[in-house]
Amino acid sequence: MSRTAKPFNIFNGNGPRWILLAVNIALWLVLTRSQRSNSPMELHSPPKRSLQERTSTSTDPCKPYFPGKLLQVEPTNAEDQTLKGALQKVDQLISNAVSSHASVDSVTIGIVSAKGTIWSKGYGRRNANSTDTTPPDEDTIYRIGSGSKLFAVLEGFILRDQGLINWDDPVSKYIPGFAYSHQTWQQLRNNQTATEEDFAEPMTLRQLSTHMAGIDRDLPDFNWDAWPSSPPISPALTPKTLEQIVAAIAETPLVSPLETTPTYSNSGYSVLGMSLLAVANKAAGTNMTYPELLQRDIFTPLGMTGSSFAATPENAARIAYPKNPAEIYWNPSDNLNPVGGQFSSVADLSKAVQSLLNPSKLKSILSPATKREWMRPVHVFPDHQTESGMGWEIFKFDDSHGREQRYYTKSGDLAFSHSIMLVNPELQYGIVVLNTGASVARTLGLEVTKILQPAFEKVLENRVAERYAGSWKGENGDQVDIQVSDGVLSITKWTTAGVDFFSKYKAAWADRISMWSTGRLDEFRISFGYISQPSGNMEGCFVYWATRAPILSHHAPVDLLYWEEQGDQRVLVVPSSNVKLTRA
C-alpha cells in the first residue's frame, strides 16, 4: 500500500477533482436530457426523478456481467462441489431419456470448459444395428448434419484472417457467372420484369453465412403437384451439383430481399463452401476437395482426429450406427459437404468449443478479437428468446439475476443422426450432444442448460467474491469496500484524501457503484450513469454506456480500477489518484 503522489484536489480541497468532474458530467447529462423533453416521443413520458430519488442498484435494470475471464484463466472441473451435483442431475436426465424411449438408439454428451472436456458420458448402444450392447463414448463418431455449417463459417474466418477473403465480397468474385433472380414470385408467374431496387446490390459471402441472402432452403425446388393430399418428400438430400444450385438461384425468386430476414438455406451454404474452397485452392495452387481443406485448416490444427466426411474402413469401428444405418453410408457430392456431410465425435467437437471459449490457447485457430466478432447476433427474432448469427442459432435465457445469458448453438438433423453444440461465452462453458435414432439432441442440450447454468453462475460468483470482495485499505484512511450483491460486483464505500464520496455526494448516485469488466483480467471501469426515468423505464443500460468518464487524472482515466500482484499479495490500484490498496 502506498501513495506515490498526493492527489490534486479542486474546489478548496474539499474533494478529489475527478469525482467532482464526474458529478458535473452527470448533472450536465441530466440537463441536456431535460432540454430534449419537448420531442413528440417524450410528451407523455413520466417525469424525471430528482437526484434524491435514486435508489440502490439492486433495482437497476442494468446489471453488468461478472468477469467470465476468471473461468478462462482458472477453469472449473467436475470435482467442484457446486458443479458436481448439477452433473449428477444431467446424468439422470439423459439416462431417463434413453431408457424410457426405445426409439432413441444412443446419446453422447460432453461438458466443456476453457480447459477442455470436464465431463462426458455415453448412453444406449453405439451400434443399434447389431446385438452389441456397448455404449458410445466421447470418441464415438456421429454424423452431425447441419452442424457442418458452423465449420464452413469457421473456415471462412480463417481465410479472412489470412487476407484471402472479405466477408463482404460478392459471391460472383469466387463463383464465375453467379447471379440471383431479380424477380418476385408474382412477377415470375405473370411474366413481368423485375422492379425492386434492392436487387441491384450484389449478394455477399456474409449474407450466405447469416442466411440473410433470401435464397430458398433447397434448390433446385422439387415440384410436388400432389400436395396437399400427399405430403412432399424433402429435396434436402437429393443429389445436386453446384452448377444446378447456381442455375436455380439465378432463376428462382428470393424469399425476401437481401438483408431483410433470415431464410435458412442449405443451398446458400453449398455456394459458401465452394466459394471458400475456390479461393483456398487459388491461393495454394492446389486442387483440394472441401474435406481436404477442413483437414488442413481445422481438423489437424485442433487435433480433431475423428472428424471427416466419409465412413471408411479406418473409422467404421468408431461410428455410431442407428437401427437404420443407411445414411451413414451417404457420400454427398463435394458441394453438399459444407451443408451437412461432416462426421465428428464429442471429443472432437469439444476441442472446437474449447477453442472458442479460450481462443488465446496454444492450439486456437482464431484470434480472440475474431472470436468476439463471430459471436455476435445478426438478427433478433420477435420472441425475446432467439437470435441468429453467422452460422449461429442463438438462445437467450435469463440468469438468476435477470440478465440474458446467450447460448451460441448449432444443431443438425438427418433422419437418424442428430447433433447440437452450445457455447456460453459469459459463463465460459459449452455443451455437445450427439445422438442416433429419434431426435433428442437439441431438446436435451437445451434442458441441460437449465441444470448447468445456475451451477456455473454460482461457480463464477464465488470466484469473483473470493478475488475482489472485501475492504481494501491504504494510507491516510484510503478505503474502497467491494461486495458481490444481487449478482453485481460493486463499490459500497470509497474514501480517499479524507473524502467519503458516498457521504459527500450521496445525492448524486445510488448507495453503490457497479463495476464493469473491460474483458481484461482484473481490470474494471465504473460508470455512474445519469438520472433517468422511474423504475420500469425503457433506457436500461443506455444510462451507463455513454457516460464512461472522458477525463484523466494523473494521466489515467478517472473511472479505471485494476488489480496487480506485488510480491505475495494482490493490490487494488486506483491510478487516477495514485493510490494502491491491500485487502484488510
Tens digit of each residue's pLDDT (9 = 90 or more) over 264-279:
999 999 999 999 999 9
Q: How far apart are CA 562 and CA 295, in angstroms?
A: 42
Tens digit of each residue's pLDDT (9 = 90 or more) over 52-71:
333 344 466 789 999 999 99
Q: What is the pLDDT of residue 69?
A: 95
Cell of 292: 481436404
pLDDT at 261 over 90: yes
Q: What is the pLDDT of residue 352?
A: 97
End-to-end CA distance of the chain: 11
Q: What is the pLDDT of residue 37?
A: 36
How many CA atoms are closer than 13 Å to the CA of 184, on its beta-carbon side? 9
Provide φ and ψ at 298, rounded to 5°.
Answer: -125, -60
Instruction: Please report the beta strands in 476-584, taking only residues with DSSP state E, as ranges in sequence order.
Output: 479-485, 488-496, 499-500, 513-517, 523-526, 552-553, 556-557, 560-566, 569-574, 579-583
Q: What is the pLDDT of residue 512?
A: 78
Q: How far apart are CA 390 and CA 268, in angstroms?
A: 12
Q: What is the pLDDT of residue 507?
A: 36
* Arithmetic mean of pLDDT, 128-156: 98
Q: What is the pLDDT of residue 531?
A: 54
Q: Which residues contact 489 (CB under 8 A, 6 or more apart)?
A: 64, 66, 67, 464, 468, 469, 482, 483, 514, 515, 524
pLDDT at 395 over 60: yes
Helix (H, G, I), strand (E, B) or coil at 490: strand
Tens digit of each residue's pLDDT (9 = 90 or more) over 154-181:
999 999 999 999 999 999 999 999 999 9
Q: What percent of the chain has pLDDT over 70?
A: 83
Please provide the average confidence, as pLDDT, over all residues in the chain. 87
* Arithmetic mean of pLDDT, 453-466: 97
* Arithmetic mean of pLDDT, 394-410: 96
pLDDT at 19 over 90: no
Cell of 100: 424410457
* Arithmetic mean of pLDDT, 364-371: 92
Nearest to 384 by CA among 397, 393, 375: 397
For 73-459, which CATH class? alpha beta
Q: Where are the domains of the chain?
A: 2-63+486-583, 73-459
| Highest averaged pLDDT of the listed ranges 14-18, 20-24, 81-85 | 81-85
Q: How far apart are CA 274 and CA 214, in angstroms?
A: 18
What pLDDT band is residue 25 in, cutting at 50, 70 and 90? very low
Per-residue 3-state assignment (H helix, E strand, C coil) for 54-97: CCCHHHCCCCCCCCCHHHHHCCCCCCCHHHHHHHHHHHHHHHHH
Q: How far apart are CA 268 and CA 259, in angstroms?
A: 14
pLDDT at 254 over 90: yes
Nearest to 79 by CA among 121, 118, 122: 118
Using DSSP, how many helices (H) and how many strands (E) does the chain show?
16, 24
> 541: how many CB neighbours lie within 10 A of its CB?
15
